A and B are shown apart, each in its own frame.
Chain A
Amino acid sequence: SQKIEQNSEALNIQEGKTATLTCNYTNYSPAYLQWYRQDPGRGPVFLLLIRENEKEKRKERLKVTFDTTLKQSLFHITASQPADSATYLCASHTTGFQKLVFGTGTRLLVSP
């Protein structure tokens, strides 16, 4: 079956460093991947979308890559800040569309 997988272990980094989160997909080839941020007790908020024909997409301190050979997307936050601490989710439509499937998310903790 089609799957999107993220590292369930929390990522702890120091303020100012670059955080890198991984999203892997199996058994299908998504046309694009999305990344969302979720704070505790809140709904996810859309951050970035990257299409399969785009190698990289940037937005301020955020950068997303899409490697169709590795079947992987990487999400980077440069110059990380404690306010970046949250759970980050990747998502994509499965074949057949209209159903956005999410990974389990990776919790990021940025220490001062």
Chain B
Amino acid sequence: SQTIHQWPATLVQPVGSPLSLECTVEGTSNPNLYWYRQAAGRGLQLLFYSVGIGQISSEVPQNLSASRPQDRQFILSSKKLLLSDSGFYLCAWSDLWGEPTNEKLFFGSGTQLSVL
């Protein structure tokens, strides 16, 4: 069966420090991968998605970046964190081997990032 791992679960970082969040998926190949952010009391905001190795689409231009060095690995990074980067970060995967209208997302357990 497929599983998704996301770490760390909690992170407290000072303003201006770098960030690296990692997500890996097991039990499937060539998944679509996504990074979402959820600010307190707000909805899920799509940050990046990837349909293959090295292919990254950005939805929100800011100081965050994403990379997909391997088929089932997705990394969210920042060189210098801002206070506004605080939030709940979620990685998700989906596959399109079935009909596109069957696509649903499977989420990781999330990383709560506090930038102080």
Q: Is B1 at the interface (CB under 8 A from chain A)?
A: no
Per the 8 Å Cβ criterion, residues 68-108 of B in contact with A are 88, 90, 92, 94, 100-108
Chain B interface residue number, banded? 20 to 34
Instruction: Name B91's closest neighbour in chain A (CB-CB).
Output: A43
Contact of A99 with B59 in the complex, beta carbons under 8 Å? yes
Q: What residue in chain B is nearest A100 (Cβ atoms)?
A: B105
What is the distance, in angstroms, from B21's C-beta to the closest C-beta of chain A? 13
- Is there an interface contact between A43 and B107, defined as CB atoms closer than 8 Å? yes
C-alpha gap A8/B43 in the complex (Å)? 10
Q: Cβ of A99 and Cβ of B46 under 8 Å apart?
A: yes
Answer whether residue A41 sits at the interface, using C-beta atoms and an 8 A cutoff. Answer: yes
Interface residues of A in 78-95 (CB under 8 A from B): 89, 91, 93
Bound CA span A30–B34, Å: 20
Whole-angstrom distance between the Cβ of B31 and the nearest chain A Cβ: 12
Interface residues on A, range: 20 to 34
CB-CB < 8 A to B46: which residues of A? 99-101
Chain B residues positioned under 8 Å from A41 (CB to CB): 88, 110, 112
If over half of A's interface residues share one DSSP class (helix, strand or loop), that class is named, otherwise mixed; here it is strand
Q: Are A104 and B104 in contact (CB under 8 A)?
A: no
Of A32, A46, A103, the contact of B101 (CB 8 Å cutoff): A32
Compute how far the CA of A82 lies from the CA of B51 in the bound complex, rounded to whole angstroms: 39
Given contacts A43-B90, A51-B101, contact A98 B49 (CB under 8 A): yes
A102 to B59 CA separation, bound complex (whole angstroms): 14
Residues A31 and B101 in contact, CB atoms below 8 Å apart: yes
Residue ranges of A at the interface with B (Cβ–Cβ < 8 Å): 31-32, 34, 36, 41-46, 49, 51, 89, 91, 93, 97-105
Top 9 closest A-B pairs, CB basis?
Answer: A43-B107, A104-B43, A102-B44, A46-B104, A43-B90, A43-B110, A32-B101, A44-B107, A102-B43
